[in-house]
Amino acid sequence: MSTFKAPKGTYDLLPPASRQHLAVREAIAAPLRTAGYGYIETPGFESVELFARGVGESTDIVTKEMYAFETKGGDRLALRPEGTASVLRAALEGGLHKAGNLPVKLWYSGSYYRYERPQKGRYRHFAQVGAEALGIEDPAVDAELIILADQAYRSLGLRTYRILLNSLGDQRCRPAYRATLQDFLRGLDLDEETRRRIDINPLRVLDDKRESVRRQLTGAPLIVDHLCDDCRAYHDQVRELLTAEGVAFEDDPRLVRGLDYYTRTTFEFVHDGLGSQSAVGGGGRYDGLSEMLGGPALPSVGWALGVDRTVLALEAEGVELPLPPTTSVYAIPLGEKARTTLFSLVTTLRKAGVAADFSYGGRGLKGAMKAANRSGAAYTVVAGERDLAEGVVQLKDMESGEQVPVPVAEAAEELERRLRG
């Protein structure tokens, strides 16, 4: 232990547990790679203003959760609390959206920062993998993204998650609905902050998790009953495409992302084994966001899945990921000459893609065998002066305990053959 500890609400990912996280990130990315999504990486911080506009001034993220600071040069920056605003900013800045390129399909994976009250599944530094399809209005893209996330979760072996789906309408039908909702909400018994929200962001009130509020929301007007014909048709198509692909979803008329530039399709992946932090991922359409950032009209849709909560969901379901062993071959040299020979063998194996490790520091046989056992290696290779004088190394099968001499020159090939078999 040193004097220092990880900051409150953060965690270190240490081996062996870190392998799970990496495997989850890769499993989420894999379906995206097969669907034409290109990898994008953006800075860990951006101008505060980007998030104020791109996430929304009235959201918890911007008002309470953002790590904002001023640089020595006087710039107002914030650690990124989410990915969409940055990705859209970068795509616009890089001109990815130019002629004939649409949709621009991108995926990302990284760390995000929110000043939250830390608890299980809710951290101040966490990881997301996300995907965005920019510049196209087509129910097939919305459906595609939901299908790809579903595919990722399935490939991980998750079963008891649910997909909640809703439509938020668009600029034509939402304003009238918004006003109807405001009228309803103004008649309720709500606290000061929530009343303020009715003016700025009334849809968000529907998302209030407090029982006292939820009770009063029974009977609230729902957007599904106020969709215009276009939005209704669009939503029906998304639902039909999902159904045709066998992706089960639940209509949740109260599911919201309450900002003006969020439109139409909105969805969330929830897992019931996670207690109150039940959302493992979420997303939706944000047709007005590009214009909010000063860009051209660029109707888009995307999602972000939480890596941490996905790992917790796997644990809750008792799913063990089939992780390949980190070490397949462990080499134990006894003496200086053997060191050179086995170091060379290990290097050769690694070049051939075999995970191989080495007993460093001139450790004795007993300690080295313990390390070999801990490493999970399927084979150890031991060599001493006498073995080398006979031109062999001792190859030991760690499972059966069987040990055979193998000529030095054939050792690498023999190991590769056995590991393949």
Among 122, 226, 254, 337, binds ligand ATP (CB under 6 A): 122
Shortest spacing between CB 158 and ligand ATP, in angstroms: 13
Is residue 252 a contact residue for ligand ATP (CB under 6 A)? Answer: no
Is residue 53 a contact residue for ligand ATP (CB under 6 A)? Answer: no
Shortest spacing between CB 121 and ligand ATP, in angstroms: 6
Strand partners of residue 269:
163, 281
| Residue placing its CB nearer to ligand ATP in the complex, 117 or 420 | 117
d(CA 313, CA 156): 10
Is residue 258 a contact residue for ligand ATP (CB under 6 A)? Answer: no
C-beta separation of 181 from 224 below 8 A: no
Is residue 58 a contact residue for ligand ATP (CB under 6 A)? Answer: no
Among 24, 52, 173, 304, binds ligand ATP (CB under 6 A): 304
In this structure, what token pair is assigned to residue 62?
């911007």
Q: 292, 293, 259, 282: which is closest to 90 by C-alpha?
A: 293
Shortest spacing between CB 204 and ligand ATP, in angstroms: 11
Is residue 92 a contact residue for ligand ATP (CB under 6 A)? Answer: no
Shortest spacing between CB 3 and ligand ATP, in angstroms: 27
Is residue 308 a contact residue for ligand ATP (CB under 6 A)? Answer: yes
Is residue 282 a contact residue for ligand ATP (CB under 6 A)? Answer: yes
Q: Select the span of 44-52, 181-189, 303-311, 315-323 touching ligand ATP (CB under 6 A).
A: 303-311
Is residue 306 a contact residue for ligand ATP (CB under 6 A)? Answer: yes
Pairs from 16-22 (Cβ < 8 Å, separation ≥ 24): 16/326, 19/323, 19/326, 20/311, 20/314, 20/321, 20/323, 21/127, 21/307, 21/308, 21/311
Is residue 279 a contact residue for ligand ATP (CB under 6 A)? Answer: yes
Tell me the CA distances in angstroms from 38 to 41, 106, 173, 390, one per residue in order.
Answer: 10, 5, 34, 54
Q: Select the span of 228-236, 241-249, 300-308, 399-407 touching ligand ATP (CB under 6 A).
A: 300-308
Q: Which residues of 186-196 are buried (b: 16+ CB within 10 A; e: fewer)?
A: eeeebeeebee
The DSSP secondary structure of 202-227, one letter per residue, reads HHHHTT---HHHHHHHTT---GGGG-
Is residue 54 a contact residue for ligand ATP (CB under 6 A)? Answer: no
| Residue placing its CB nearer to ligand ATP in the complex, 256 or 371 | 256
C-beta separation of 267 from 146 below 8 A: yes
Is residue 416 a contact residue for ligand ATP (CB under 6 A)? Answer: no
81 burial (CB, 10 Å; 0-12 / 13-18 / 19+) is: buried
Is residue 194 a contact residue for ligand ATP (CB under 6 A)? Answer: no
Name the closest residue to ligand ATP (Cβ). Answer: 306
Shortest spacing between CB 159 and ligand ATP, in angstroms: 18
Shortest spacing between CB 146 and ligand ATP, in angstroms: 14
Tell me the CA distances in angstroms from 244 to 140, 247, 265, 312, one per residue in order.
Answer: 12, 8, 17, 30
Shortest spacing between CB 384 and ligand ATP, in angstroms: 51
94 burial (CB, 10 Å; 0-12 / 13-18 / 19+) is: exposed
Q: Which residues bind ligand ATP (CB under 6 A)?
A: 82, 114, 116, 121-123, 126, 128, 277, 279-282, 304, 306, 308-309
